[in-house]
A and B are shown apart, each in its own frame.
Chain A
Amino acid sequence: MIIIFSTENEISTSDVIYRLKHHGEEVIRINSDDDTFKFSLINKEGIYFKNTRTNKTYNLLEAKSCWWRRTGISMKNFILDTPKEDFIANELDLSVLIKGRKSLLRSETADLKEYILRRIYENCKINIGSPWRYGLNKLEVLDIAQQHGLQTPDYEIISNLNQIAPSGIKNEFVTKSIAEGIYEVIGNNSFYTYTELHKKEDFAGNDVNVFPSMIMNIIDKKMEIRTFYLDGHFYSMAIMSQSLNQTKVDFRKYSDSKPNKCETYKLPKSVEDKLENVFKHLQLNCGSVDLIVNENNEYVFLEINPVGQYAMTNLPCNYNLDEVIAKYLIHGIIE
């Protein structure tokens, strides 16, 4: 039995399951955003969840492997319905006890969830990803990358615009979100955090307090590298984004009609070794890495996304990653 924690519309999950079933494996897919699987029981023998569509109950501790693809379990997997009415007792409004951030439901769920995920993680012989590494702290990861000898972009975090001019950052710079950034679709518009190019002189003489903001040196890039990493193996792709000025900063702004060329790519062994040390440091065996190759042919590390989409690397490079992942979940090795 193989467990996959994912979300309802995650396509790579479906593609991998298709292959696992072909190889004769039983797969339990638990989505945090639907309520197919419900918590049933924890006893000495196991942790039981029930598929409410088939009425079958599974002991999750019977799984040999687990893919921590997306957020895991949520409140939905524990209760039938979240309370909507207010909770009034003796004319006192006690709703905070059952609703909202401080509610009892939340704290009970949080500990239960942590316990269940840990037991499954420790019990499985094969894991891809980890329940403790769904998200990483960008600043920490940059430090770790540096410790392992990777070049990283210089940045400062400022709280007033007048700190820009005297900063060690070069004249042309970009702003970046410190955490994940925004991705929201509202009506006909999608909103997401761009990496926007700025010049120091535009902020000269501005004494304005701002929320702590990251300013980062711009890197003149020859190309961007996306790498899918799994247990010591690297599947890399180069995005040749130098050809148009428009793409110098962020290739997502490129028009669809002439997409940037994506080429199969092999990182130098020395860079792969350093990246592998970063993954080991993070106790993570899978993730997508973003790097830049600058004008001097140096590799600059940007970030690791532990749950990133690999389909965009898989398709142009024909790496057959769905099969690689499926085989890894079955055998725990990459052929």
Chain B
Amino acid sequence: MKYSKNDVFFVSSSCKLVKGAKRSIIIDYSRGDVQIIPNEYYDLVQDINRKKITEIIAHIDEDSKNSFFSFIEYMLVHEFGFLTEEIEKFPEVSTAYDDDHVILKDAILEVDETVFNEEDFSSLIFQINELHCNDLQIRISSKTNFSFIDKVLSIIDQANMLYVELYLKNEGEITNDQWHYLLKTYAPLSHVHVYNAKTEKAVDYYIERETYFPIEIGKVSHHTLDFEKGCCGTISFDHLNFSDMGTHHFHQKHNGCLFKKLTIDTTGNIKNCPKMTKTYGNFKEKRIEDVIQEKSYQSLWNVKKDDIAICRDCEFRYNCSDCRAFTQQTDDEYSKPLRCGYNPYTNVWEDWSINPLKLLVTEH
């Protein structure tokens, strides 16, 4: 490896290193890449980051020099780090996360056709829109019915939503043409999840235009999981985020799932989450804006990964969302999410639902 007398090694602004119980990872957020490294190398990087190579090697014994240089080379080849003679020109990137202007990040609305009231729903959407929330999840627990979905979406369409997700049961038939119509008519509608399906499948929908590439307008995914059990709180490797550094900073400060989240159940009760029983009153009687400012409503907002048992030892903790409704110890606010199959002490991923110990808890 070539280096000059004054070369200083520094970790790229786009990379984060995170240490777990048994191993560490390097996440390259600019390229959506994650690499596993031994913990000793994590410690090494902490020691050498922003120091002169010549000064570091003075403290390394002869036998370790080769592996030291090959590790630095590995970091340079992947551009996880750089050498510079002018380290003062490469300040460290800020880890601040400022979203004070966001009142609500996302909202889950549970809807049931048998108790649905159009006026109430309109006023609910209006209130949520006033709070600048533009990420919406709609869960329809009644039998699936095209014209009802159409009606719900047309009400949402009057607000400025950016992203709408729909969760349904696989009862009642909706044709491909009808899905195409809904995805095309309601631009914010991006992803539909159908539960209790016979087989797993996902269909992408497009608009074709002459001389243009087809434009994807959304996706309908079928899942064999049960609607009640399936649609929330599951954590697997595929759910981890390695492409947005903002999320990393966010998870260092706040709860990945519940921070600034709102749930309204089918009868209008204000909740943190669909699976939690605690309610904070009904939106027809109280202003949502006031309720979400209450201390008790925010009590779980700042339960971070670094506070949670087991997760705090996990190398994926800032890439992982969270779940506070299903935890291993139901009475402990800081217990690990139940529906995660990862063990940071053995580095093995397994399907959470087949772990016999956990089944006991689920049945309660």
B221 CB to nearest A CB, Å: 25
A-contact 0/1 string along B205-247, CB 8 Å cutoff: 0000001110000000000000000000000000000000110
Chain A residues with CB under 8 Å of B92's CB are 264
Known: A259-B30, A317-B13. A19 touches B101 (CB 8 A): yes
Whether A264 contacts B13 by the Cβ 8 Å rule is yes
Whether A319 contacts B94 by the Cβ 8 Å rule is yes
Q: Does A22 contact B (CB under 8 A)?
A: yes
Whether A188 contacts B13 by the Cβ 8 Å rule is no
Cα A213 to Cα B125 in complex, Å, equals 57
Whether A263 contacts B100 by the Cβ 8 Å rule is no
Chain A residues with CB under 8 Å of B101's CB are 18-19, 21-23, 323
B343 CB to nearest A CB, Å: 32
Whether B211 contacts A188 by the Cβ 8 Å rule is yes
Q: Does B95 contact A (CB under 8 A)?
A: yes
Interface residues of B, dominant DSSP: loop
| Partner of A262 from B30, B91, B94, B95 at Cβ < 8 Å | B30
Cα A247 to Cα B261 in complex, Å, equals 43
Cα A138 to Cα B249 in complex, Å, equals 39
Most buried by A among B30, B31, B98, B101: B101
Known: A22-B100, A22-B101, A318-B96. A266 touches B13 (CB 8 A): no
B66 CB to nearest A CB, Å: 24
A8 CB to nearest B CB, Å: 14
Whether A316 contacts B14 by the Cβ 8 Å rule is yes
Whether A320 contacts B82 by the Cβ 8 Å rule is no
Chain B residues with CB under 8 Å of A22's CB are 100-101
Chain A residues with CB under 8 Å of B30's CB are 259, 261-262, 316
Residue of A nearest to B210 (CB): A187
Cα A188 to Cα B93 in complex, Å, equals 37
A-contact 0/1 string along B106-140, CB 8 Å cutoff: 00000000000000000000000000100000000
Cα A268 to Cα B88 in complex, Å, equals 9
Starting from the known contacts A264-B92, A316-B245, 12 additional A-B residue pairs (CB-CB under 8 Å) come to A18-B132, A22-B101, A187-B211, A188-B211, A188-B213, A258-B31, A259-B30, A259-B31, A261-B14, A261-B30, A261-B82, A318-B96
Q: Lowest 8 CB-CB distances: which A-B pairs, in order?
A: A22-B101, A187-B211, A19-B101, A318-B94, A264-B93, A263-B13, A264-B13, A261-B79
A–B Cβ pairs within 8 angstroms, 14 of them: A18-B101, A240-B82, A261-B12, A261-B14, A262-B14, A262-B30, A264-B90, A266-B88, A266-B89, A267-B89, A268-B89, A318-B94, A318-B96, A320-B98
